[in-house]
Amino acid sequence: MAVAGAASGGVEPGTQQYQQQQRRRQRPQFGDRVQAGQQLARGLGEYADGTAVVVSVGRGGAVVAAAVAAALGRGVPHLHYRVEAIPCAQLPRLSLGSVAGDGSVRIDAMVAGSLGVDAGAPDAATMRAIRAIDRRLRRAQDAFCRAPPGARELDGRTVIVVDDGIEAGDTMREAVLHLRHCFAPRQVVVAAPVCLADARKHLRRHADAVVDVVSPLSVGSVAQWYAGGAQPTPAEQRVLARLFAGPQRCQPWAPEARVAPSPPGTPRASPHPGPQ
């Protein structure tokens, strides 16, 4: 009985006070993703060092990132960079690498080697998967109002990679690995309003820092942490309409990166023919 009471913060399970406490814990943490971004920015002030750029990796994350960039002050750009893992049928818990919305490809040399795959010349099935991901990501990337970031925007900078929530952390991990592989950032900071505690621990192995507002033991669905759930609120819709305004209205960035496979520890890549 004493153990149960201690686990409940001293409140006896089954009592009205305990039920009220549980209802409070189940309430959404954030009114919307704009508010969540403003709260997140309070923990990112030390990284607004004059070199910071904010990079979102999803639509929900773009709303949060826009609020973060605005809160960190003028001169902090908000960029958008979609990254997706290349599935590995033989090892479902791993990925063979990643593809980004600028057409760049990263092949994990260690995983490829363990499978007997030539990292410099993937087989036909892998190339089909890469091309399918490339087409999908380019459509998503092209909807954003700015061109994909390049070396000029990212090399030597503090790159703050933002999403609206992190559950398993797979998407964020692939984004961090891809950014480190294709570019030479000064440091990479992962930021999300809500980040599962286990994912936080795992991402610290790949990023220089992980910043969040809440880090629960269990996330459930990211949407449950927002009052509007998965449905964008009017404020979020206004931000999305501004950010995803259709075809890019700025000068497209001509990607240097058709990225070659990377040996472990290699931060950059030589040209790669990429998906055609």
Q: Is 18 part of a structural domain of the chain? A: no
Q: Quote the number of domains for the chain.
A: 1
Q: Per mean pLDDT, which of 30-34, 85-89, 221-225, 268-272 is the most reliable?
A: 30-34
Q: What is the DSSP letter of 92?
A: T
Q: Is 137 part of a structural domain of the chain? A: yes
Beta strands in the chain (DSSP E): 52-56, 78-80, 83-87, 95-100, 105-107, 158-162, 187-194, 209-214
pTM above 0.75, yes or no: yes
3-state secondary structure 145-166: CCCCCCHHHHCCCEEEEECCCE
CA atoms within 13 A on the CB side of 271: 3
Amino acid occupying residue 26: Q
pLDDT 10s digits, 246-264: 654 433 333 333 333 443 3
Q: Is 194 part of a structural domain of the chain? A: yes
pLDDT 10s digits, 183-208: 999 999 999 999 999 999 999 999 99
Of the pLDDT bands very low, low, confident and very high (cuts 50, 70, 90), residue 151 is very high
Q: Is 276 part of a structural domain of the chain? A: no
Q: Is 275 part of a structural domain of the chain? A: no
Q: Is 15 part of a structural domain of the chain? A: no
Q: What is the DSSP letter of 45?
A: G
Task: Return the CATH number at 160.
Answer: 3.40.50.2020
Domain containing residue 163: 31-243
pLDDT 10s digits, 152-185: 999 999 999 999 999 989 999 999 999 999 999 9
3-state secondary structure 218-255: CCCCHHHHECCCCCCCHHHHHHHHHHCCCCCCCCCCCC
Q: Is 270 part of a structural domain of the chain? A: no
